[in-house]
Amino acid sequence: MMSKDNYQELSLEELLQNYSYAADFFTAMLLPLQPINLTLKEYFNMLESELLEDLGMDRNELAERFELFMAHMQEVQKAAPFAVNNITIVGGRDKNGLAENITLNMKTGEIICIVGPTGSGKSRLLADIEWMAQGDTPTGRKILINGQIPPREWRFSLEHKLVAQLSQNMNFVVDMTAYEFVKMHAESRMSSSPELKARFIVEQANLLAGEEFFTDTPVTALSGGQSRALMIADTAFLSTSPIVLIDEIENAGIDRQRALKLLIKEEKIVLIATHDPILALMGHKRIVIKNGGINNIINGSIKEQANLSDLERIDRKMLGLRNMIRRGERIDFNVQSYFQE
How do the domains of the chain map onto residue ranges? 4-78
Q: How far, in Å, CA of 152 to CA of 12, rounded?
A: 39
Neighbours of 266 (CB within 10 A): 16
Please name which of 143, 164, 141, 165 lies closest in space to residue 152, comparing C-alpha atoms.
143
Q: Write the single-letter amino acid at 322.
A: R
- Pinpoint the alpha helices (H) of 131-192: 152-155, 178-188
**Is 0.75 topped by the overall pTM?**
no
pLDDT band at 170 (very low <50, low <70, confident <90, very high): low
**Distance of alpha carbon 211 from alpha carbon 189, whole angstroms:** 28
For residue 42, what pLDDT is reported?
92
Q: pLDDT tens digit string along 201-230? A: 999 999 888 788 999 999 999 988 888 899
**Beta carbons of 287 and 123 less than 8 angstroms apart:** no
CB-count exposure of residue 123 (10 Å: 0-12, 13-18, 19+): middle
> What confidence score (pLDDT) does residue 80 get?
47
* Residue whose C-alpha is closest to residue 185's, from 208, 169, 201, 205: 201
| pLDDT value at 16 more than 90 | no
Q: Provide the H-helix boundaries in the chain.
A: 4-9, 12-18, 22-28, 40-46, 49-55, 59-78, 122-130, 152-155, 178-188, 194-208, 224-238, 256-265, 277-282, 302-326, 335-340
For 52, half-sphere exposure in the C-beta direction (CA atoms, 13 angstrom radius) is: 15
Helix (H, G, I), strand (E, B) or coil at 35: coil
pLDDT exceeds cutoff 80 at 61 = yes
Q: How confident is the model at residue 323 (pLDDT cuts 50, 70, 90)?
A: confident
Q: Which of 8-17, 26-35, 284-293 bottoms out in mean pLDDT, i.e. has the lowest? A: 26-35
For the cut 90, the answer to whether the pLDDT of residue 175 exceeds it is no
- DSSP structure class, residue 158: G
